[in-house]
Amino acid sequence: MIRKSLKFFQTAERVSSSDPSDSFVFQRSLLAYVYASQQIQGHVLEIGTGSGYGIHNITEKATHFVTIDKNSIDKSLFSGKKNCSFIQMKVPPFKGINSNSFDYIICFQVLEHIKKDQFFIQEIKRVLKPNGIIILTTPNKKMSLSRNPWHIREYTCNELTELINRELQVVQSLGVFGNDRITSYYEKNKKAVNKYRKYDVFNLEHRLPRWLLQKPYDILNRINRKQLLKKNRSILEQISLDDYYIDNANDNCYDLLYFAKKSS
């Protein structure tokens, strides 16, 4: 019973491809991999393997693919893929990775977890080859429904552009958007989250330290997603990759999707 409970309340930061209550987040996260796979070539580094659901998309296009994560991963994800390798490490820095090594770096939903974000971008610049490209996604702060205590900070379009341009050159500032089905679910989620937040009369959401809020956040987030699934199963079960699209970034996109280049 305890193990089942722990599984039910797994952190919302690791989305599942099989749990329909995660569809809203999973499909838009997958879109980043699909889109990136149409751009990349050569030697590719991924920062933040996660559950590894995007590995297949990238390995098909990369000459060699290195993926790194602070946690261990299921090695069966690399079965039959001779051009792949995994490194377990916390970043930054990228220990043991040579400078000027990669044509492309992909970094999806990681930046918001990084304390030393400027140093992180500096390390990305270091390991990119001249004219190399970083493809990065991070949540759009303007569309966040509440404080996420697992995130050290989130970014607006202007804030992300300013951060990246200190070291690299932003060449495309894009965003992930959704159609009417996605908007409908987002509004239902927003309404449900606000019901929880009205009980926070002392504004503890913003006054307490992040570490103290992380577990309660995970529990409430999972409960909320399960309740939304129960009430909106038809919407969630129909959400697919086709419900999301990429366009120029603005305050209404769910995720920021940026391309930045290292000068020659």
Tokens of 67: 């993926």
- Tokens at residue 144, please? 């966040």
Q: Which of 20, 54, 11 is nearest to 240 (CA)?
A: 20
| Residue 78 neighbours by CB under 8 Å, 6+ apart | 55, 84, 86
Average confidence (pLDDT) per 10 residues, the chain, 264 residues: 42 73 94 96 95 89 94 83 90 96 98 98 98 98 96 98 98 98 96 93 94 93 94 92 98 98 93
Give residue 11's pLDDT: 59
Q: How many CA atoms does the CB half-sphere of 42 hold within 13 Å?
A: 14
Q: Please report the pLDDT score of residue 10 as a whole number.
A: 56
Q: What pLDDT is recorded for position 12? A: 60
Model pLDDT, residue 150: 96
Per-position DSSP letters for 38-79, written without gaps between them: TT--SEEEEE--TT-TTHHHHHTT-SEEEEEESS---GGGGT
Q: For 214-253, give the DSSP string.
A: HHHHHHHHHHHHHHHHHHSHHHHHH--GGGEEEEE--TT-
Domain span at residue 67 reads: 2-261
Domains identified in the chain, total number? 1
A 10 A CB-CB count for 205 gives 15
Q: Which of 74, 103, 76, 109 is nearest to 88 (CA)?
A: 74
- We report the CATH number of the domain holding residue 60 as 3.40.50.150
Whole-prediction pTM value?
0.92
- Percentages (nearest 5) of helix, strand, coil residues in the chain: 45, 20, 35
Q: Residue 83: what pLDDT? A: 87
For residues 210 and 55, what is the distance between their CA atoms, to the nearest angstrom? 31
